[in-house]
Structure 1
Amino acid sequence: MHPTHVPLRLATGAYIVNSGIKKLKADDEAAEQAHGWASSVYPVFKDMKAKDFMKLLGVGEIGVGALLLLPTVPSAVAGAALTAFGAGLTGMYLNTPGMTESDGIRPTSDGAGLAKDVWLVGAGLTLASQSFLSGTRHAAKAVAGGVTGAAASVAGGVTGAATSVASGVTGKVGSASHSAGDGVRGLLEGAHHAREELADALADLAESVIKR
């Protein structure tokens, strides 16, 4: 649960749980009234007994309130449940004759008490949408981090390969230069020895001529 969701979830959760407990304690007259009103808008409840309907409604409200109050329940789940619950109440308000003005939206004096249930839809959508957007941002950051890491790994691999190639080329060039230097030095030393040998031979030849 995000810290900013705590006030909204506590307020709505406590309100709905209290409403559910009251419905479980409702008398027969209140049950008949609620059942008749709900079944006129949602025919699926017509064949249900008034007390059973009231018990079902009370348990449902307590369940929705518990989802909001439990910190381990994600806000997306709690918000979706609250939105569905509020939409059901808002549907009863909009479809019950005498509850709205001629425009079908603004409440009459009789419908003012029901029109307030629209805030449950707003609260549920706020929780669900904020949770969804927060999850989307985290996913986007994770993807961006993965792409950045992959790019860094590729760049590191390319840099390492380039360094290895450059080192190999430098080594080969250095080795070739060293070998060439050794060859030149060898040639020079050979020429020097040949010159000395030639000088010695010429000296011997000159000495032999003089003696004759």
Structure 2
Amino acid sequence: MVKKVVTQEIVSAAANALVAEGKEPTFRLIQERTGGSYTTIKPYLEAWDAERRKAPAVELPLDVQAQGKEFVQRLYAHALRAATESVAEPLARAEAARAKAKEQLANVEGEVARLEAVEQAQAAQIDALSSKLHDLELTAAAQQATLQEKAAAVARLEAQLEQAQRDLAGRDQELAALRASSSAVSGLQSQLEQLQRTVQDLASGDSAAKGG
């Protein structure tokens, strides 16, 4: 199972299209349009957002730069003092919350990566099982064809056996007829031998009478 390859260009194009439509390019919307995974889309979307936030370079006159620099320095010093005095503790809490959120995000990313690995392993297992099932179907079809051939061969042998049994019955009838004929011939032969002995006895008696 081959996943769609998602690149920086694809993610950027999807994000720009969403902005043009008046929508915020969130991860869910980007994933719906690109089909990529969380770990793939996240760095591309962050890179696109960082590029979008870059302010265009403007060339300022030297006097304006000097005045702006001085103003910015005073403003920064004031803001720094105010931040140091009033937001030190909230800032610390925010940093702690940010660190915790970052850790949770890392855990989520690790879990997503693990689930994607499990999904890929399951997909590979499904492909292997599908291939094995196909092989088993081919084997079953071949065995079925072999069984049909064997059944046809058995049917032919049974037909030949029936014919041989019929032929044997015919031979038995012929043999019985021959045996009956042989018995009749033996009876006639016995009668002939008896008749020959009778004729010989008569001939012997006639010869004896003539001699006396």
Give 1 or 2 for the bigger CA radius of gyration.
2
Scaled by the length of structure 2, the TM-score of the pair is: 0.46
